[in-house]
Amino acid sequence: MAAPRDHSIATLECAVDSSAGPMSAKKAAKAAAKDDHDHDHSRALAYILRGNKGPEARNARLEDSRVDYFRGKDLYRSLKARPEIIDEYYQKLIGQPTPTTPTEQDRTKQITQIGQEMLKRGYFVKCDRVYKTARPGRTKKVKFPKFLTTMPRTQQTFTEDGEGFYSWTYDQPMSWTFVIIAVLVAFAVILMCLFPLSPIWFKKLILYCCLSILGLFFVIGVVRVMVFAVVWITIGRQFWVLPNITSDEIPIDEVFSPMWAFDDLDVNGNVVGRIPAINRLAAASTAFAILAVLYRIAPEKGSAIKTINKAHGSILDLFDLYDTPKGLQGSVAPNVTENATGAEGEDAGVPLETDAGAAAADGWDADADVAPPAPPPPYSGPPDEGAESEGETNTETDTKGADAETRAEL
């Protein structure tokens, strides 16, 4: 009897397991569907935040790869400026409705929960700057560092104070704008490869544009140094025009912002590193003396212009930018000489004998580089004694005149 009872219990357990199996599979399918649905919402939110409505993103080196990242405070700022995004996705991701009249604290809490949910789903990773101190000569750390490192797993949280950097692991899908830009870049590369085949005037245009840009940078540098020197000598402050123009840690759209700034302020806005007036006057006197010496030994205006023209010709010769190519310059001159010689022969009415037969008749090898000997003068009879004595007298007179001129020079 015990065995049948055990068999019935086993049969009942099998039935329960078989009946529970489909139920657990349905629950797992529902959970997976819900998870996919939540991922769709978080992916849609990530797509929005990676666009123009999201926080400002910069590029940096994270260990061995290049990533785009943003600051936590920028995410707070961008979402608070667009509360409709919070109202739409807070309930979809967190499952809680938005208060009827949310306060500033409620918005901060909602953004913190949204950020934590996105961080948990792996759409971005929390990072920290590699260099935690300011650069030499600076009192403040840069807002957007160029080198990042991943935070430990225990510190992967989205803090409410907005501190920290977060690197994106989600990339937006390719758009038609990206495709068009890629095609234009490829076309530009092909044009640059065909640059050696471009006409001379186009090459000169590119050369002069590059030289103009270099000259502009040189003028800006000179003006910055002069303004800095005047302000520093006068009031002892470090004042720079376009302070970010030499920085390699900011994008190009922030080079001209701000236009000027003092570079001797600490975090609290106090002036630091001011040099006494005596030291400033001594430095100014030394600089003035050096400039005066340089002005005295500087070349004259005409010499400087000649040097500039010579440098210009050297540049054109280096890049072969003359209007007449080098291969044609050497072949034009012989043709011009030959044509001129032929014209003179035709005007004199004397035929030109340039063939090998005429040269051989005169006893000259046409293939040799040595010119044929001059023909002897025609015979005019025996010399006359009177003419001979007259010639000697003229020779003596010329010799005496030359001696007199030599003595006068001495």
Q: Quick check: 127 pLDDT over 90?
A: yes
pLDDT tier at 138, thresholds 50, 70, 90: low
Q: What is the pLDDT of residues 36-72, one digit of tens each?
A: 555 688 899 999 999 888 898 998 999 889 999 999 9
Q: Quick check: 363 pLDDT over 70?
A: no
Task: Indicate the pTM of the whole model.
Answer: 0.49
**Mean pLDDT value of segment 238-251:** 82
Least confident residue range of 59-63, 96-100, 182-186, 359-363: 359-363
Phi-psi map region of 5: left, alpha, beta (phi>0 left; psi -120 to 50 alpha): alpha
pLDDT score for 222: 93
Q: Quick check: 27 pLDDT over 60?
A: no
Which positions ≥6 away from 332 have C-beta within 8 Å? 324
**Mean pLDDT value of segment 292-321:** 84
Q: What is the pLDDT of residues 72-104, one digit of tens each?
A: 999 999 999 999 999 899 988 888 888 888 898
pLDDT score for 405: 62
**Averaged pLDDT of the chain:** 76
42, 34 contact by CB (below 8 A): no
For residues 12 and 30, what is the distance between their CA atoms, to the nearest angstrom? 27
In the DSSP assignment, the letter for residue 381 is -
Which has more pLDDT, 265 or 286? 286
pLDDT score for 177: 87
Strands, E assignment, 132-250:
147-150, 165-168, 239-241
pLDDT score for 70: 94
Torsion angles phi and psi, residue 263, rounded to 5: -110, 25
pLDDT score for 165: 93
Q: Quick check: 18 pLDDT over 90?
A: no
Torsion angles phi and psi, residue 69, rounded to 5: -140, 165
Residue 200 vs residues 259, 316, 348: alpha-carbon distances, Å? 39, 10, 43
Q: What angle is formed at CA 216 by the lines to CA 213 and CA 218, rounded to 5 degrees?
A: 110
Q: What is the maximum alpha-carbon separation in the chain?
A: 176
Which has more pLDDT, 30 or 102? 102
Q: Quick check: 5 pLDDT over 50?
A: no
**Mean pLDDT value of segment 114-121:** 92
Q: What is the pLDDT of residues 150-168, one digit of tens each?
A: 999 988 999 887 788 999 9
pLDDT score for 161: 79
Tokens in use for 265? Answer: 């302020």
Residue in 263, 274, 277, 264 with CA at minimum distance from that of residue 233: 277
Question: What whole-number percentage of the chain has pLDDT above 90?
Answer: 28
Q: What is the pLDDT of residues 7-16, one digit of tens each?
A: 444 443 444 3
pLDDT tier at 3, thresholds 50, 70, 90: very low
CA 365 from centroid of its chain's CA atoms: 64
pLDDT score for 1: 39
pLDDT score for 182: 93
Q: Quick check: 349 pLDDT over 80?
A: no
**Mean pLDDT value of segment 179-188:** 94
pLDDT tier at 396, thresholds 50, 70, 90: low
pLDDT score for 272: 79
Residue in 95, 102, 49, 101 with CA at minimum distance from that of residue 76: 49
Q: What is the pLDDT of residues 316-327, one digit of tens each?
A: 888 888 766 555
Q: Quick check: 6 pLDDT over 50?
A: no
